[in-house]
Structure 1
Amino acid sequence: MKIHGEWEISLVRNVLVRTTAGSFNEQGTLACFRDTQKKAPIGTPWAGLTNAAHWEMSSASSLQAFPQMREWAFQHGCVCLAVIVPDQMRQAIHQRQTGNLPEHLVSYFSDMQEACTWLTLKGFPFAPTDYPHAAFIERTKPAH
């Protein structure tokens, strides 16, 4: 089956930055997770920053994979995860479907600056200017 969804993953110091766009099916979610596992700095504490500003939802089966993905991350050195989902409704769906973890582990934000401030306070200095996927975000901007 064809992969649906697009992503870019980069490691900036000890922050694993993942940017997603489009609508994901289960194959897309699992492929993105495999790429995440390859880039994660296992063996040292790290933080995750997921920019899902252009994420257009996921199938129910792909959302069900999120809790085990997060469990893997927290078992392999991830200390905290900042998730950017600007739209409150999509944020609530994402949070509910992916396990509703405590806010000190996973926190949701409506913009990059808020997420960067939170990561910095958690001991992972990161600024909007550190964000490596500006071209991806521009390319995947919805047409509406």
Structure 2
Amino acid sequence: MKIHGLWKITLIRNVLVRTTAGSFNEAGTQACFEETQQKAPVDKPWAGLTNAANWEMSNAAALQSFPKMREWAFQNNCVCLAVVVPSQIRQLIHQRQTGNMPENLVRYFSNMEEACNWLTARGFPFTMADYPHEDFVLSTRPVHNTGKH
């Protein structure tokens, strides 16, 4: 099956930073998860930061694999996950489809700054200056037709 979805994953100190873009299918979700498993620092406590600002949703089957992925993370020394989804409706769909987790484990944010502050307060210092995928975010930003010619 062809992979749908784009991502970058980088470990910054003990924060695993994932940035996603586009529409994901099961193959894309699985490939992203495999890379997550390879890069996660499972030998010590770590946090996850996912920037899904350019995520354009996933099919239902792909979303349903998220609880297993989160289970794996928490069984492998992950302390907390911060997920940035600026759109309230996408945030709600993401939460509903992936299983509501306690807010001390998985928290949703509408912007990166709030997510960085939460991670820092949880003992994983991280700032906007640490964020490694700004070029990827800019290159994957959806182009919306403004109707102007």
Decide: shared fold, TM above 0.5. yes
Partner of 2:46: 46
Partner of 1:133: 133
Partner of 1:22: 22
Superposition deviation, residue 113 in structure 1: 0.4
Please list the CA deviations of residues 64-106 of structure 1 after superposition, one character each: whole Å capped at 9, or x if unmatched: 1000000000000100000000000000000111111000000
Partner of 2:7: 7
Q: Secondary structure at the match of 1:86?
A: coil
Q: Secondary structure at the match of 2:92?
A: helix
Runs of at least 5 residues in structure 1 that lack an aligned partner in the other structure: none
Please list the CA deviations of residues 16-66 of structure 1 after superposition, one character each: whole Å capped at 9, or x if unmatched: 000000000000000000000000001100000000000000011000100
Q: Whole-Å Cα distance in 1 between the matches of residues 64 and 91 of structure 2?
A: 16
Structure 1 segments of 4 or more deviating over 2 A? none
Superposition deviation, residue 128 in structure 1: 0.5
Q: Whole-Å Cα distance in 1 between the matches of residues 60 and 78 of structure 2?
A: 25
Q: Whole-Å Cα distance in 2 between the matches of residues 7 and 66 of structure 1?
A: 15
The two structures have a TM-score, normalised by structure 1, of 0.99
Say how many residue pairs are matched: 144
Partner of 2:66: 66
